[in-house]
Amino acid sequence: AKHPDVFVRCSSESVFFPAMQKIGKMIEADAFGTILEVNSGFLHSSDMDFNKPINWKRMLKFNGEYGCMGDLGMHACHMPFRAGWIPKNVRAVLSNIVTERPDGKGGMAGCETWDNATLFCQTADPKTGSDFPMTIKTCRIAPGHKNTWYFEVLGTKACAKWSSKQINTLEILEYTGGMQAWQVIDMGHEMAFKSITGGIFEAGFSDSILQMWAAFLYELHHGKPKNKFAGCVTPEEAALNHRLFTAALQSDANSSTIPL
């Protein structure tokens, strides 16, 4: 507010993958109907190695109390927040699984921050006014998940799900009566911002970073994102992220549901 001419955005790449861009278009087109449930998360497994030396993410003075939520959370919240799916309250279960790690000096050091977090949110759909359950998961100890983003939307007219484990695969179920069947769609280089890469080629993580930078420069130049889901995280969305995770800390401490 003190420097209105400064343009600030936050780093989060997952929405720029082709499958996520397709889901964004479905959200804008009201293709899902009444939202039944949304699940979003970011999962790591490197901390399954209990002998991994402690780092800044394990220390309150560097990472703060959020732990894994501060490290991974904005990536899991980017798409839901951009869709306008804002939690009304949260019940969080936080886990500190590894209580100490090697300090790199021959001794052991206490791990002070959360390893895993599961957030259960009552969430409002601004288009229908109805509430639905949404889960946000951020885990550093998730067996089998080296670096997995996932996103799932279940609705009365359509459903969609994506995981970075199969980064170019989008699963869609469209329901008009009769048999319900999931389609498996192989996405090409169907990006928000065109590049020299042909449309039939597969996209990867480095492509999503380039798309994020393109989104930043586009909004800086034009004053608005190219479309709703082709924009970087805003400071307002980051602030909402902080409110959610602060409430999650209170929820876990009190074993209660905390309003936002």
241 domain-assigned:
yes
User: Looking at the domain assignment, is residue 139 inside a domain?
Assistant: yes
Whether residue 9 lies inside any domain: the answer is no
Residue 137 has a pLDDT of 98
CATH number of the domain encompassing residue 185: 3.30.360.10
The pLDDT score that the predictor gives to residue 64 is 87
CA separation for the pair 82, 1 (Å, rounded): 22
Return the pLDDT at 79: 97
Q: How far is CA 249 from the centre of its chain?
A: 18
The burial of 83, by beta-carbon neighbours within 10 Å (0-12 exposed, 13-18 middle, 19 or more buried), is given as: buried
Report how far residue 69's alpha carbon sits from residue 63's, in angstroms, rounded to the nearest whole number. 10
**Assigned token pair, 118:** 């599961």
Residue 228 three-state SS: coil
Residue 176 within a domain: yes
In a domain, 150, yes or no: yes
Q: What is the pLDDT of residue 1?
A: 63
Give the per-residue pLDDT at 2: 79
pTM for this prediction: 0.93
The range of the structural domain enclosing residue 198 comes to: 14-259
Whether 3 is in a domain gets the answer no
Domain count, the chain: 1
Q: Split the chain (260 residues) into runs of 10 and give each run's mean pLDDT.
A: 84 95 97 98 92 87 90 95 98 95 90 95 94 98 95 98 96 93 95 90 91 96 95 96 98 98
